[in-house]
Amino acid sequence: MRRRLRLAVSAPAIQRDLQMEGQYSALLVFFASGMASLVSAAIGGPISAWAFDLSMRQGLLMWWTGEWMNAMVLLPFLLALPSARSSGAKQERQSWALKLLPALAVVGLEMTSYMVGNKVGSLVFSLPALLWCALSYRS
């Protein structure tokens, strides 16, 4: 006898996530921007490898990381823009601790970045938390 695992996801929850209002919206944005940068790297990577006399691997990695970094830097600002939908009632029902959680995540990840040192990779530690803040605090 084979049992199937069924995920109970309601249609309104999926709709909220697709409108960037749900809990997993930041993960959706992170995944989508990663996939878009992979597609971009497939086109631009070989061109940059040829133009800068790099190996194909270096060209693809350079293009992919550059595109993903650009998306992760710009998306929090774009998502923080006010939307036409009003979600004020939802924001008012949340407790003050839940409203403060995204900002605390940014502070914690920035502290982690500082402890790691001035390495280039440590700059991206707080980007997922910044996305979370943009989705949580937009009006």
Can you read off the two tokens belonging to residue 113? 């970045």
Q: What pLDDT score was predicted for residue 14? A: 56
Report the C-alpha gap between 25 and 102 in whole angstroms: 13
Contact between 67 and 43 under an 8 Å Cβ cutoff? The reply is no
Report the C-alpha gap between 53 and 42 in whole angstroms: 17
Dihedral (Cα; 64, 56, 47, 122), 10-degree rounding: 30
Q: How many CB atoms lie within 10 A of CB 130?
A: 22
Instruction: Return the HEC string of 68-99.
Output: HHHHHHHHHHHHCCCCCCCCHHHHHHCCHHHH
Residue-level pLDDT, tens digit, the chain, 139 residues: 455 544 445 556 555 555 665 556 777 778 888 899 999 999 999 999 999 999 999 999 999 988 988 888 787 777 666 655 555 555 556 677 777 888 888 888 888 877 777 666 666 778 788 888 877 776 5
